Amino acid sequence: MDSLDLKLLNHLQEHGEIDLSNTKAFNRSEGSIYRRIDLINAYLAKHQQLVPKNHKIQSKMTYKEYIQIVQNIPFYEYVPSQKERLSFIIVQSLLKEVVNTSRLYQHLGLSMSTKKKDNRHLTNQLKQAGLSKEIVRKKGIRITGQETLIRIEGTKILVKLFELDENNTLYLRQANNPMEVLISEYVLTETNFIHSQVKNMIENIIHQQNIELSYPSKKFIFLYVMIALYRNHLGYYENKKVHTSLTFSSPFKLVEHSTENQVMNHILFSLDTMNRENNVSIQIRWLEEKIIQFVSGIQSTIITDIYSYHELFQEIYQFIFKCILRSDYHFDFYDNKLDQTAEKFPNLYHLIEQDSFISNELQLSSDQIATLTLIFRKHINENKILGRNTKRIIVVTNSSIEKADFFGASLNHFLDIKIVKILHINELYELAKLDYDYVLTFSNRIATLIEEQGYTCLKVKFYMNDEDINKLLDIGFSSSSRRKILADDIVPALQKKTAEEMKEFLIKNYPSHFL
């Protein structure tokens, strides 16, 4: 078994089949995948067997069964990928400073030729991250470069291996393969003595600054702080500012060390927050001017007038602000569900992609351009909406905030709904505290996990079609096109108010009616 076998299995449990006429995602030929399926079947029970049929591989495997299969793979029967091997080296270098790679590869049962090949790829990977490595005579190798970027590289690895529970306690991701289990258990053992300190620090940041981080962001900063404190314990502090085009003073005092505090502020402002109304806005004049030009350029080419210009500007500004910081700090949050955005909204996507500021100056990725597309499309939808929300909805997704917001706006465009909260799959414990009518998700895997936790949910497509809308209408949702406001409710509330007070009242209480 190796990482590609698990990638095939994971795809099958999520989608139910693999179309062998298009295997580009796996970078293998049809014949190669057939051979792998035969080997995978040797690990599976009779009722779990993968079935080749009409140039397709089919499976009824559940996510729970997939987890059991992964967890039952013996370590000695798993072949770690090059990416996993390099990740182990980087993590060990973070915690041990010097890594004896010859001893490591011998322990893993790997050849010296594999070590030499990996060494070249490690050099290239570190170079892309703004780092390098040096030989420590008779001891091994050490990763060198700016301290913050070393920590970020480690955080990017660990964020895929760990989860946080409702008490902000770190635990291993269930779907970790044997090599990932080895890495994560090693990290837990080495860093155990600072976990309470990290937890207290993160909770103080959240409570004192009144910040509600998205789950992926909270996990990212938890792991970064864990690595930072561990590195401080070894005597490594950041004494050099990370180069960024966003120059601003640090509004929060998070740690005593001035440069470390600036880095922490930068990372905090690069993360996704749920309570945007409490966001501290950092005004960068040149960036504001660029975004004004960008938004005006897009507005001039679309039919719908954006009356919610201030809200659109703020959302675009905050997202691009985060993109710049993440780029300067060499990280981002990948969302594989954004791949279809260019196909779904080709005109809007290409308008944004062709903007010189977006593609040439910022050099945003296709995922980031897709997110901007969803932000614009959400505001286009909202500026066409009339009516008042009635069904209270919880959206459960592992996707980005911007993507979840787009999904909510799409629902609102067709149906009379109110988004109560957007939850990550690891935050299902929040459901017991919330008042809602329905839980919605657009992932088969998440729908299965929700139901296994004893909750009922509705699964719809991310880009909803008529079938999805009709399904929701059939169970009692109302169409947004027929919503009305009861005059008897609104007239008494407006009496004796000034024009400005009336406007404020209407926008606050009927946001889908008034702009």
pLDDT, tens digit only, all 515 positions of the chain = 899 999 999 999 988 999 888 877 788 888 888 889 988 998 888 888 998 888 889 998 899 999 999 999 999 999 999 999 999 999 999 999 899 999 999 988 899 999 999 999 999 999 999 999 999 988 999 999 999 999 999 999 999 999 999 999 999 999 999 999 999 999 999 999 999 999 999 998 888 778 889 999 999 999 999 999 999 999 999 999 999 999 999 888 889 999 999 999 999 999 998 776 666 678 999 999 999 999 999 999 997 788 788 999 999 999 999 999 999 999 998 877 788 899 999 999 999 999 999 999 999 999 999 999 999 999 887 775 444 447 899 999 998 889 998 998 888 878 888 889 999 999 999 999 999 999 999 989 999 999 988 899 999 999 988 999 999 989 988 777 645 566 667 788 888 888 888 888 887 777 666 77
> Can you name the residues that pair with 358 across neighbouring β-strands?
none
Which residue type occupies 144?
T
> Can you name the residues that pair with 502 across neighbouring β-strands?
none
In a domain, 11, yes or no: yes
Domain that holds residue 430: 391-482
Nearest to 269 by CA among 280, 255, 259: 280
How far apart CA 145 and CA 127 sit, in angstroms, is: 10
Q: Who contacts 195 (Cβ-Cβ below 8 Å, separation ≥6)?
A: 169, 170, 226
Same domain for 183 and 168:
yes
In a domain, 335, yes or no: yes
Report the pLDDT value the prediction gives residue 287, as an integer from 0 to 100: 96
Report the pLDDT value the prediction gives residue 239, as an integer from 0 to 100: 93
Report the pLDDT value the prediction gives residue 389, as an integer from 0 to 100: 44
Would you state the structure tokens that stand for residue 120, as one six-digit string?
Answer: 């070249």
In a domain, 248, yes or no: no
Phi, psi torsion values for 107, nearest 5 degrees:
-65, -35
Same domain for 335 and 234:
no
Would you state the structure tokens that stand for residue 346, as one six-digit string?
Answer: 């080709």
End residue of a domain, out of 331, 348, 382? 382
Q: Is 380 helix (H, G, I), strand (E, B) or coil?
A: helix
End residue of a domain, out of 172, 207, 238? 238
Report the pLDDT value the prediction gives residue 495, as an integer from 0 to 100: 86
Report the pLDDT value the prediction gives residue 21, as an integer from 0 to 100: 82
24 to each of 21, 30, 55, how far by Cα in Å? 9, 10, 15
In a domain, 472, yes or no: yes
Same domain for 233 and 97:
yes
Domain count, the chain: 5
CB 1 within 8 A of CB 77: yes
Same domain for 168 and 183:
yes
CATH code of residue 426: 3.40.50
How far apart CA 250 and CA 263 sit, in angstroms, is: 9
Report the pLDDT value the prediction gives residue 384, as an integer from 0 to 100: 56
Query: For the CA atoms of 297, 300, 301, 302, what is the dihedral angle to 10 degrees?
Result: 120
Nearest to 65 by CA among 50, 83, 80, 87: 50
Same domain for 198 and 89:
yes
In a domain, 269, yes or no: no
Same domain for 451 and 496:
no
Same domain for 497 and 472:
no
Same domain for 213 and 149:
yes
Same domain for 234 and 111:
yes
In a domain, 146, yes or no: yes
Same domain for 358 and 397:
no
Report the pLDDT value the prediction gives residue 481, as an integer from 0 to 100: 65
Read off the pTM: 0.82
How far apart CA 177 and CA 174 sit, in angstroms, is: 9
Same domain for 476 and 403:
yes
Report the pLDDT value the prediction gives residue 51, as an integer from 0 to 100: 87
Phi, psi torsion values for 17, nearest 5 degrees:
-160, 160
In a domain, 247, yes or no: no
Report the pLDDT value the prediction gives residue 387, as an integer from 0 to 100: 45
End residue of a domain, out of 382, 416, 441? 382
In a domain, 422, yes or no: yes
Same domain for 429 and 300:
no
